[in-house]
Chain A
């Protein structure tokens, strides 16, 4: 399980990354993240929506109400150019953290004082 802070920090990059696979709606987005993380990333589901609305306001994504094949109307979110740019920046940040930690975990160099 992620800590609260890490879950909050990773929401935007995760949403952007899932949307690179194509437009999607909130419920399916959460399912996709749960499936990819093997159930280790569990959000308080309703909290995703304010984040989506904020991302839309920032111009990263856009949304549209549309009826699905089942007839149920859903709000679909789609990536915008600004979002792709943000995703690239986020990717660099997360990779920096990841690579640094990996080096330390794989080849720790004990220091003698």
Chain B
């Protein structure tokens, strides 16, 4: 019989299994502790029946149930957790969408200003509407695409980055706010450039601030709740 190159480490395997389960918003830290005790009991019983540690671990995890099934069942008991989690990701997606949108606004203003602004005043022809449609629609589609990819493979570098940074609610909220404020500022700078330095751009910039601050506050609050729940 071949000997495995790396011996099986039960504690490491259990830690990995816990990390996968912890991704489900409905499963709290205490639930994980209880499931871990169960898994260890199960592994011990199976080992007593002449199974190797690795075999026992595989059978025991299968009997406990997949993270999909468990997440769903726990979700029935703590539906609020699932909704606060959804709100958090929706808010993060909204902030990212705003950043992308500002990018598009800047590009449109810089490249197509002659289309939209004829002699200083907005010219609302079909060309303008087309440009605005692309400017509004593309960021939504792009954000939707990013988050669709994230849902499909949460282990991608961006998923890991978001997961890691969401452990620090203040950093997460601050980073999104700074990105957003910077994006808006740049967007408005470009708007003003195209609009011959009117004050409208700056007014729009001031208008965005309260909303963005509220968003950042909510993201901080929800992310903090999430961290406390996983503790």
Using a CB–CB distance below 8 Å, which chain A residues touch chain B?
25-28, 31, 44-47, 49-51, 53-54, 57, 72-75
Quick one: closest B residue to A30, CB to CB? B38
Report whether B65 and A47 are in contact in the complex, using a CB–CB cutoff of 8 Å: yes
Residues of chain A contacted by B76 (CB below 8 angstroms): 50, 54
- Known contacts A49-B31, A74-B37; decide if A27 and B42 are in contact (CB<8 Å): yes
| Interface size classification for chain B | 10 to 19
Cα-based distance from A73 to B41 in the complex (angstroms):
11
- The list of the 3 closest CB pairs from A to B, nearest first, reads A46-B65, A27-B41, A46-B64
Do B65 and A53 have beta carbons less than 8 Å apart?
no
Per DSSP, chain A at the interface is helix
**Interface members, chain B 33-77 (any A CB < 8 Å):** 33-35, 37-38, 40-42, 45, 63-65, 69-70, 73-74, 76-77
Which B residues form the contact surface with A (CB < 8 A)? 31, 33-35, 37-38, 40-42, 45, 63-65, 69-70, 73-74, 76-77
The dominant DSSP class at the B interface is helix
Q: CB-nearest residue of chain B relative to A44?
A: B65
Query: Are B37 and A27 touching (Cβ within 8 A)?
Result: yes
Find the A residue at minimum CB distance from B38.
Answer: A27
15 contacts between A and B (CB under 8 A): A44-B65, A45-B38, A45-B64, A46-B35, A46-B38, A46-B64, A46-B70, A46-B73, A47-B69, A49-B35, A50-B74, A54-B77, A72-B40, A74-B37, A75-B37
Whose C-beta in chain A lies nearest to the C-beta of B28?
A: A53
